[in-house]
Chains A and B, each alone.
Chain A
Amino acid sequence: MLLLLLSTALAEPIAVRLKEGEEAPFDGRLMNDEAIANIIAGREMSIEQCEIQKELAVSLSKAEMQLQIDYLKAELETEEEKNTTLLALRDKEIESLRKELRPNKTMWAFFGGFVLATGTSLGTYYAVRKIDANN
């Protein structure tokens, strides 16, 4: 019994070519030629199917990576543009502030004139007083 089980377990896969009506020499499945041809063709096509699946997976991955690249490019482009604009604006602002901070020359001229006039007036006043005192 053990030998029988062992022989069944280790039995090679075999098939028998039969004509219709002939007795089957062992238990098993009988398939017609179309079924056999279908199995063979399916096996042959499995490589092609695998290739198709592989190409689909590669295409999907490429699309995904391209999306990420495009997103990053968009971010880089807009950030560069934004920073250039902001930098230009701030440069302009700095330039304007520098101009604003330059000393006001008209104010100094007015102030100088005022001091000079006051000094002259006071000088004249003291000179007149001194002349009066001497007389």
Chain B
Amino acid sequence: MSALLLLAYLFGRGKVANLKTQLQMSKDLYKKEVEAINNAAEKKGELQSQANYKYKKALEIAHKTAMESNDYAELQKAERVRQLVEENKENPDAIDQILAKEFGILVMTPKDD
């Protein structure tokens, strides 16, 4: 009888030890999985922050370029106005031709009228 008890104890002890090992392994695995998931989330956040920074920079550059182009266009326009006024002094017909061609405005002199 005691031999059977001893046997049962020895068998049972072995199984408990196995189960304890399995439990410990499961706990370790769970911890490592959580760690892997957290690391991935952290890395994703970092990469997204970098992407946001890049996006903001791209917007800044685009707006700056547009503003510079606008400023340049304004300068060009002022230069063109000056050029047209000068041209008009020497050759008023040139302006009349532009008015006719671009705006469809017929320019007449009072004697035409």
Query: A residues bordering B, Cβ < 8 Å?
Result: 12-18, 22, 25, 33-34, 36-45, 48-49, 52-53, 55-56, 59-60, 62-64, 66-67, 70-71, 73-75, 77-79, 81-82, 85-86, 89-90, 93, 96-97, 100, 104, 107, 110-111, 114, 118
Contact = CB atoms under 8 A, between A and B. Distances in A.
Of the candidates A53, A73, A82, A107, the one having the most CB atoms from chain B within 10 angstroms of its own CB is A82
A106 to B, nearest CB: 9
Contacts, number: 165
A97 B104 CA distance: 90
A37 B84 contact: yes
Contact of B29 (A13, A59, A82, A93): A93
B18 interface: yes
7 contacts: A12-B104, A40-B98, A48-B73, A53-B66, A70-B48, A79-B40, A96-B25
Interface residues of B, number: 61
A93 B11 CA distance: 24
Nearest to A68: B51
B2 interface: no
A63 to B, nearest CB: 4
A30 to B, nearest CB: 13
A48 B76 contact: yes
A107 to B, nearest CB: 6
